Each structure stands twice: as C-alpha cells, then as structure tokens.
Amino acid sequence: MTGQIPIKAGRREWLGLLVIALPTFVVAIDLFVLLLAVPQLSADLKADSNQQLWIMDMYGFLLAGFLVTMGTLGDRIGRRKLLIIGSAAFAVASLLCAYSQTPEMLIAARALLGIAGATLGPCALGLIHFMFKDPKQLMVAFGVWGGTFTVGALLGPILGGFLLANYWWGSVFVLGVPLMVAVLIFAPIILPEFKNPNAGKLDPTSVVLSLAAMLPIIYGIKELARNGWEFVPTASLVFGLVCAVVFVKRQRKLADPLMDLSLFGNAKVTSPLSMALSYSSVGGAVMLFMVLYFQLVEGMSAVGAAVAMIPGMATATIGFNVAPKLAAKFKPGYVIAAGGIGVAIVMLSFVAIGTTGGTWHFIIGFAILSFVGAPIIGLATPLVLGAAPPEKAGAAGSLVQLSSEFGGTLGIAVLGTVGTAVYRAQIADDVPADIPAGAATAAGDSLAGAYDAAATLPAAQSGSLIEPANVAFASGLHTVALIGGLLIGTVAVITAVRLRHVPPMGGGATSDTPEEQADSADEIGKESVKPVA
C-alpha cells in the first residue's frame, strides 16, 4: 500500500493493533513463566547456581544492549519488516530454549531470544504512532498496548504453573510460538510498512560502541549488586562508561547518528524518561524485597510468591487503560507527577512493615503502587514519541523501553545494595554469641544465608538467629522504602514543573498561552511520512 493513513483509524488499524500486541503479550508471559521453570530446568540440565543466574540474566542483557540499535534499524529498513523478522527469530529461539540439552545451550538460546526481543518493542511503538493519527485514538492504542504486557504478566504464572504441572519445563517456552506464527501470517496482510526514506546508512561503529557500553555497564551493575566490589565487574563498569562517552561524542559528529541526542534537549523527552527510570528503579527494588519477604520470612513457594503479585499486575492493567482518559482531561505532566507522588506514598508506607505479618501490606501496597504507577510508563511513551520526528519514532520508542529495562537493573543494584549494607551492618552486632561461627558468617551475608544456616541448627538456636536476621532485613527494607519514596517524589515534583505547559493529550483542549499552543501543535500535528509498499 502507498498513501497516508486516514486521520481516523478504522477496523484495519485496530486489527493491526491486535497483531502488534501479540509479541508484547508473549514477551510478558515468557518473563514470568521462566521464574517458575528455573527449579525444574536446573535439575534436568544439572545447572549450577552460576549457570542459573546466566539463564535468568542473559535475555535482559542482550535485550537492553540491542534496543537502541533495533529502534534505529526499524526506522531504516522498515518497522513491519523488522517486526516480522524479530517475531520469527523469537519463535525459533523459543524452540531452541525449549529443547536445550545443556545449560550452555539454554544460555545461548536465551541470548538469541534477547536480541530478537529487542526488535519487538521499538517497532511496535513506532507502528502504533504511525497508524493512529487521531490523538484520542493514539492514547487509547498506547493504553491497550501497555495493558497487554500486564495481562501477559498476569496470565504468565497461571499458564506456567499449569504447564509445569502437566508437561516438561520446555513447554513454557513453546507457549508463545503459535502466537508468533500468527504475527508472521497476519502482519504482512494487515500492518502498513513504514521506513524513513531519507535515513542514512547505519553506522557499524556506533552499533559496536553502543553494545560495548550497555552490556558491560549492565553486567557490572548486576554483579556488583550480587557480589560486592570485585575487580572484574568494576572494570566492566568502567569500560562500559568509557565506551558510552566515546559513543556520545561520535553521535554528535555524525550526520545520521544511531541515537539522536538532540531529543534530550526537549523536556517532553527527558522528564518522562526520568520518571520512567525512577519508577522502574523503585519498582525493581520493591519486587526484590517483596519476593524475599514472601519466600523467606513467610515461607511461600515460588509459585505462591508469583500468585501474590497477581493483584498488582491486574491493577497495572487497569491503570494503563485509565491513563489516556486522565491525560485527555488533565495535563499529562500533572498526571505523571500524581502517579509518582502516589508511588512515593506507598513506598513510605512500607516503613511500617515489621519483621512478620506484612504479607497483606505488601500485596495491597504493590497493587496500589502498580495502579498509580502505570500512567508513568503509559504516558511517557506517547510524550516521547510525540516529541520525536515521525521518521525517528522507532528509535524514540527504544529510549522508553531502555529506561524501563535499565531502571529495573539500577534499582535492584543500587537500592538493593543499600538494603544489603543496612542488613549486614545491623546483624553484625545482633547475632547471639552462642551461634556457631559458620552460621553467623552465613547470616551476616544475607537473609537467605541466615535461613539456610538456621535450618542446620537446633530449634532454640535457629529461632535466636532468625529473629535478628528478620529485624535487620526489615531495617534494610525501611531504608530502601524511605530513599525510594523520597527519590521518586522529588522527580515527580520536578516533572510537574517541567511539563506544566504541555496541554491535555487528545482532549482537544485549547491552550491558553503561546507556549502551550506550541506544545499542542507539536502534540497533534507533525509532518507525516508516507508509508512504503
């Protein structure tokens, strides 16, 4: 097809949204069912603890590393084409995961899965931005797309639990293959193609530099959070930061950069990205402490802990679909900021959680946090894409996803490290003198170590070790909750100020000031780029 997409999206565009949402749904399911499958696949493949971590982490490493490259590549070769290629690669990689015979094979397959996954989000966002020209419909489309991820996260533990109870562990990877096949069938028929006809050549050096920056940085942060200050992860982090500096300098010199740094001079880009980064950081830390609390303090299984998070996934789905309605009536900066303040209040409420009996506080708090936080991500996407030229929407979309991915890693690393430091400092003085040295050392390292050590002790000593460990863990949680709440609350206030001139999105409101009128024009009317056959 050649020509402009009609200003009002019709049946074809809404069916296209369904096709675009399928890969997102599959990715969400894949992320959450893996958590349930790790014990079975580890036993079957005889994966040691280090290999288990790489099985879990490899997907995220490669996904984050390739996001910027894939976002730009889609704008150059065609978003529909790259979405189809990525969906096919994701299906093949999923089958490789399902039928892996060794831990090394599964790790390699997860790496391919991450690279394929990096194509899906940027292409989907770019296509949605191109297909839905009407502001109201665009906001609804983004809400539906974002809600699809949380629906997948909601169904993931349920479907995964059923499959693991009745089939082998590889079945959880096969689950999404038929849906990806559906994308391969219907995408060429329903989706329009879009690519930037004036895009320059892809700069291979920039691609290498972006990977050389992102992968070592993410690896370094994760390993430092996991094992403390060690030479290899520290050197990796420094190397990645140096490559990032070189990457930025190169982008400033190129006529066709891999990443358009001029976008970062726009408050409609930097403020939503800052909020997305902050929210993902806080959310990542909360989930870390919540899972530890559920499984260790309350003794839940992995499945039980996953089920306890389902209410939060459900409220996030609702929040994603409420966000467009709020943004049509109120300024998006205020809606995002209100969400950030709501998250801050919930975080501060976690300070009241004690050593036991906090399960319902966590479940209800996480549900509220997910609901009020959904507009942060839900509105960041249209704001950032609206600020970018249409021909660079895919690259802009990759920035939103990268902020979320990197934010989760950063939150677990930084806030998790703070919580661990508080735990270790407190328990060092509180372990009873009659506890054996080995058990005391294990308890001094982590809460999991304390529970493992307590299981080897007589009942009286076990209880006297667990009690100070729980108290120290609660202190770490309180510190993280306080810091996280103050952090996102501060960013929310700054966001409200910086985005105060951006008018309601898709509501047809008339701006009152020249600055607001300019923002409104930028929101609704950008020069369109024609699709290609």
d(CA 223, CA 229) in angstroms, rounded, equals: 9
3-state SS record for 27-73: HHHHHHHHHHHHHHHHHHHCCCHHHHHHHHHHHHHHHHHHHHHHHHH
Identify whether the C-beta of residue 391 lies closer than 8 Å to the C-beta of residue 529: yes
Please state the separation of Cα 243 from the chain's center in Å. Answer: 23
pLDDT reported for residue 455: 87
Q: What is the pLDDT of residue 389?
A: 76
Q: What is the pLDDT of residue 144?
A: 84
Tens place of pLDDT per residue across the chain (533 aa): 444 555 787 888 899 999 999 998 888 888 777 777 877 888 888 887 677 778 877 888 888 888 888 888 888 888 899 999 999 999 999 999 999 999 999 999 999 999 999 999 888 888 888 888 887 888 888 888 877 887 887 787 778 878 887 888 888 899 889 999 999 999 999 998 887 777 667 788 988 998 898 888 888 887 776 677 788 889 999 999 999 999 999 988 888 888 878 778 888 888 999 999 999 889 888 888 888 888 888 888 777 887 888 888 889 888 888 888 898 899 999 999 999 999 999 999 999 888 777 889 999 999 999 999 988 988 888 888 878 777 777 777 778 878 887 787 778 778 888 888 888 888 888 888 888 888 888 888 888 888 888 888 888 888 888 888 888 989 999 999 999 999 999 999 999 999 989 888 765 443 334 444 344 334 433 333 344 43
pTM: 0.78
**How far is it, in rounded angstroms, from Cα 266 to Cα 272?**
10
- What integer pLDDT is reported at residue 6 of this predicted model? 53
d(CA 312, CA 322): 15
CB 413 within 8 A of CB 218: no
Contacts of 65 (CB under 8 A, 6+ apart): 114, 118, 210, 211, 214, 215, 218
pLDDT value at residue 410? 78
* Residue among 77, 84, 93, 94 nearest 124 (CA): 84
Q: How far apart are CA 315 and CA 294, in angstroms?
A: 20
CB 145 within 8 A of CB 128: yes
**pLDDT for residue 275:** 92
Instruction: Identify the pLDDT of residue 488.
Output: 94
Residue 268 backbone phi and psi in degrees, to 5: -70, -10
User: Per residue in 218-239, is it b (16+ CB within 10 Å) or e — as a string?
Assistant: bbbbbbbbbeeeeeebeebbeb
Structure tokens at 330: 């109120």
Q: What length does the chain have?
A: 533
pLDDT of residue 49: 65
Residue 220: per-residue pLDDT: 85
> For position 116, what pLDDT does the model report?
94
Check residue 150 and give its pLDDT.
Answer: 78
